[in-house]
Amino acid sequence: MNFVNKIENWGNTHHPKILDFIRIILGVFLVMKGVEFMRNTPFLLDLLLQNQSVHLSGLEIAVILHYVTYVHMVGGILIFLGLFTRIASLMQLPIIFGAVFYVNILNPLVSSELWLSIIVLALLLTFVIIGSGPLSLDNLLTEKKESLNR
């Protein structure tokens, strides 16, 4: 059994149900952030340009803006539903790493955005390891597939 399967099996057997509710709240939060970024794209653009230590072209900025917005919305929905949670969490990680180390680290340590980004980063790393949990579409689909194979 390879390393990924070991992590998957460990995560499936060590999953308290309270983490499912935290996963659902995290998914809703990420969707709300994606909608906020879509509604207020100039704010996200200002964040990118204000902390820009490396010159980015217009195309690169456009790609980053779209990636952040759509990955937050689609990934948040997947995390909320518990469908492909590990993959959706992995796709969120570059955004949240950027939020912690590129955008918020330059602000004072009492910044609530920095602490919120750190908490979201910790939760995403947790869900990459432990997966969806028992209250998820992944679990429901797996149970249906096993019952059909019997």
**Residues 6 or more apart in contact with residue 4 via CB below 8 angstroms:** none
Predicted local distance difference test score (pLDDT) of residue 134: 85
Residues 136 and 78: beta-carbon distance below 8 Å: no
Rounded Cα gap, residues 37 and 90, in angstroms:
20
Output the average pLDDT for the chain: 85
Average pLDDT over residues 63-77: 93
Instruction: Name the token pair of 20.
Output: 């499912």
Tell me which of 42-51, 104-113, 121-130 is least confident: 104-113
H or E element: which one contains 102?
A: none
Which band of pLDDT confidence, cut at 50, 70 and 90, is reported for residue 15?
A: confident
Predicted local distance difference test score (pLDDT) of residue 16: 78
Name the nearest CA neighbour of 88 among 141, 138, 16, 146: 138
Q: What are the CA-CA distances from residue 6 to residues 3, 10, 130, 145 (Å)? A: 5, 6, 11, 21
Look at residue 47 and tell me whether its pLDDT is greater than 90.
Answer: no
DSSP secondary structure code for residue 104 in this structure: G
